[in-house]
Amino acid sequence: MVGISVDAPPRNAAMVDKLRLPFPLLADEDGEQAIKPFEVWHEGADLARPAVIVLDRDGREAVRQVGQDFADRLPDGVLLARVQALGLPATSQDAPAPGKASPSAKAMPFAALKPYFLGGRFTSISLGDRVPEAKERADVMREMYDGFIDAVDSTRAA
């Protein structure tokens, strides 16, 4: 498993370090190596849409989920169930050595993540209560934020 981002390697190294990611975060700054070929480039935004693409042993797409924006993601449990349903054997390989970490000046400190996610969670609840036609999407967003909050708590405890 790898992540791919438009951010430069030092920014990706900082993200891996801050969040203690158990996988490498690779750089595709112009999107030409993987992001555009996998058709997840967000035209006009100069970044990738959030996406999960699982390849089988032959390099064919076995699972594909592409979000519209940063808040459009499948819950982890749903995604894991889809991957497990494929019955693919686990593989492993050595991760590339991380580069020198250099977070962006705009990078949110780890301590600010939980309050930020709590704000998003409460906003999604409010939106769902106020706009009945948005309730289903708001509930999905709340579940996503709950997962983010759990991840922050787990990372903090590790």
- 122 lies in some domain: yes
* pLDDT score, position 94: 78
- 60 lies in some domain: no
- 115 lies in some domain: yes
- 68 lies in some domain: no
Residue 134 exposure: Cα atoms within 13 Å on the Cβ side: 12
- 116 lies in some domain: yes
- 67 lies in some domain: no
DSSP state of 31: S
> What is the reported pTM?
0.73
Cβ-based burial of 24 (10 A; exposed 0-12, middle 13-18, buried ≥19) = middle
Number of domains in the chain: 1
pLDDT digits (tens, 9 = 90+) for 89-144: 877 777 677 778 888 888 899 999 999 999 999 999 999 999 999 999 999 999 99
- 9 lies in some domain: no
Radius of gyration over alpha carbons of the chain, in Å?
17
* pLDDT score, position 92: 78
Which range of residues forms the domain containing residue 145?
108-158
